Amino acid sequence: RMFGLAHRFPPVKRLTSVAAPVLRRLSYDIEQSCHLVIYYEGKGHVVVQQDSPSERVFSVRLGAEAPLMNTCSGHLLLAFADQVTRQRMLSRIPDNHPKADNDVDKMLKKVLTQGYENIRSAQAQGIQDIGYPVFDHLNETVAALIVPFFEYIDGSHPTSPSDAHIAIKQAALDISYALGYQKN
């Protein structure tokens, strides 16, 4: 029900309409699934999802929740939030989600310095989560674009993680520019 309500609000509706074709293009270009996560009430929520066109697919379902503390999307949403918003986000983490540890400041600094996050998935073996922030017309982070990247052991997949980074970064910028973002 909450997921349905969230999609009725114009900002989420605009985000999903702008992002859907970009995610479709990205998934076809890199042959990986991708999704967009927004922050709401102490956790991330997948609001747009695109499966890979490949026969082998690893994806996160539309509407899935993502903890803030041990996920690529959570790290991005926290790192690119202003200090006041970040503190509010941290204070609203549900009791059943992982809590902040002593390395939060280190993680935030790393993500901000890199401009992206790239971590091993805490939920699935063999998945490398690659993500970039998506900004709006106020230059505020509105979402995290995530690719749960996995390599094919038979060597049949033509896209390397470094090539994927380039495509994911461009897709995040394309969505951001469509939302009115102006790079400083």
Tell me how far apart the alpha carbons of residues 129 and 118 are, in angstroms, rounded to a whole number.
6
pTM of this structure: 0.88
Q: 17 burial class (0-12, 13-18, 19+ CB within 10 angstroms)?
A: exposed
What is the model's pLDDT at position 37?
Answer: 95
pLDDT digits (tens, 9 = 90+) for 118-157: 998 877 778 899 999 999 988 999 999 999 998 877 777 7
Helices (H), the chain: 2-6, 10-30, 72-79, 83-91, 104-114, 161-178
Main-chain dihedrals φ then ψ at residue 31, nearest 5 degrees: 55, 45
pLDDT digits (tens, 9 = 90+) for 43-102: 899 999 988 887 777 777 888 888 888 899 999 999 999 999 999 988 887 777 666 666
What is the model's pLDDT at position 7?
Answer: 44
Sheet with 43-50, strands from edge to edge, namely 65-66, 43-50, 34-40, 141-149, 128-135, 117-120
**Helical (H) or strand (E) element with 139:** none
The tokens describing 86, both together, are 């970040």
